[in-house]
Structure formats: C-alpha cells, structure tokens
Amino acid sequence: MRILIVEDEVGLADSLRRGLAAEGHRVDAVHDGPRGLEAALTGEYDVIVLDVMLPGLSGYEICGRLRRLGQWTPVLMLTAKDGEYDEAEGLDAGADDYLSKPFSFVVLSARLRALGRRGGAEALRPLQAGDLVLDTAARACRRDGREIELTARELSVLRCLMAGAGQVVAKRDILDEVWDSPADTDPNIVEVYVSSLRRKIDAPFGRRAIVTVHGAGYRIAPDGG
C-alpha cells in the first residue's frame, strides 16, 4: 500500500515509516497539519495515519476537511487522547478507525491492512438489510425511517456485522476490527455490545436482525429480520 503518516513526533513517525516500509509498503511522513492536509489531498495514498494533536491543524480538522472535499481515503486516527468521547469525536470527523497511544505496531499494521481492504468511498456507501440502514459516512443508523442513537463502538460493531452481507462474522473478527488491543480483550465483550444493539435496533421494532450462530458468531438476517 501507499501510506501517509501525519505525526509531529519525528521519532515515532520515522519508526513507523521504517517498520511499514520493511513490510513492503511505500510510506511518506510529514510532521504538521498543513503539510499533512496538502499531502492527503493529492489522493495518492491508500491509507492515512493521522495524529490528532498537530501543529497548524488538528487531525480532527484535517479529516473533516478531507471528507467535506470528497476525499474518502481511509483514515486511522492515532492519538495520545483516550476515552469514548475522544473516539466518537474522531469518528464523527470522518475517521475510519482509532488507535490510542501507546499501541502495538502489530495491531497498527493489522488495522492498516484492514482499512486497505475496506477501501474509501465504496466503504462509506450506506449498508442496508431490509429497513435497517447504516449510513457509514454520516455515522447514523435508521430503521423504518426512525433514527436510532448508537455509540461509536456500537456503530463500529454493527458496521462489521452488516458489511458481512448476511455471512457469519466471528467474535474474534469483530474484536480485531473494532477494538484497539483485541488480544488483551475478553471476547465476551462482543456479546455485551450485540445485546445492546439488539435492544436498540431490534426490540423496539419487533425484529430479530442480529442472529446468533452458536459456536461461530453472528450474522445479520438479509431481510433485516
């Protein structure tokens, strides 16, 4: 892949550049917001690693401008900030994924490969199963025309399930896609989020869109339940 790193910690940026280059990727690194935006707007990159706290323009501002200008290159937010509200702010700005420092290079590399497979504009098209619609660009969910309020993590879990197009999605695959440190996370946390999603997208509408496939994982009923 062609990867752009926008990170003001020069040592970290160089370490990431060398590590990703060793895996066969072509990597460029810049260290401030304005140059990061300029490079990102060229459209030459498959994935962008974007720090939040940058001189000149924040990562949130850069990502927001890219999306408003129709630039849909997948963005991985990389930041020392932590917490669900920070994650939500990054996702609301248009980021595709979020990784908090300190992080594992192995996890970062895996997340970038996943984003590369997912693509840009194609990945942001609304996902639909019956009358259940997930607008990945707007980070919004609707059923039967009614808005459903979901947290950033719930949206990510639902996106993972709906992107499977009716196929079974394993718990481990959901963990790898949604959580920062999947190896250190109890797989049962997926059940907690699936239960929460069912209470919001299924129960109020008398539906059963999320189907448990015992011993395998979950799938979204093609007709939305």
Per-residue model confidence (pLDDT) at position 87: 56
Name the DSSP class of 123.
G
Per-residue model confidence (pLDDT) at position 118: 64
**pLDDT < 50 stretches in the chain:** 85, 121
**Per the structure block, which two tokens stand in for 178?**
């949604």
Whole-number Å distance between alpha carbons of 181 and 172:
12
This prediction's pTM: 0.56
| Residue with tokens 């996106």, as numbered in its chain | 159
Whole-number Å distance between alpha carbons of 129 and 222:
5
Identify the CA nearest to 104 among candidates 78, 82, 75: 78
State CA 73 to chain mean position distance: 12
Per-residue model confidence (pLDDT) at position 81: 61
Q: Long-range contacts of range 9-13, CB-CB < 8 Å, 24 or more positions apart?
A: 9/51
Question: Which positions ≥6 away from 151 have C-beta within 8 Å?
Answer: 84, 88
Q: Are 171 and 216 in contact (CB under 8 A)?
A: no
**Per the structure block, which two tokens stand in for 224?**
């939305």
Q: How many residues does the structure list for the chain?
A: 225
Q: Are 74 and 120 in contact (CB under 8 A)?
A: yes
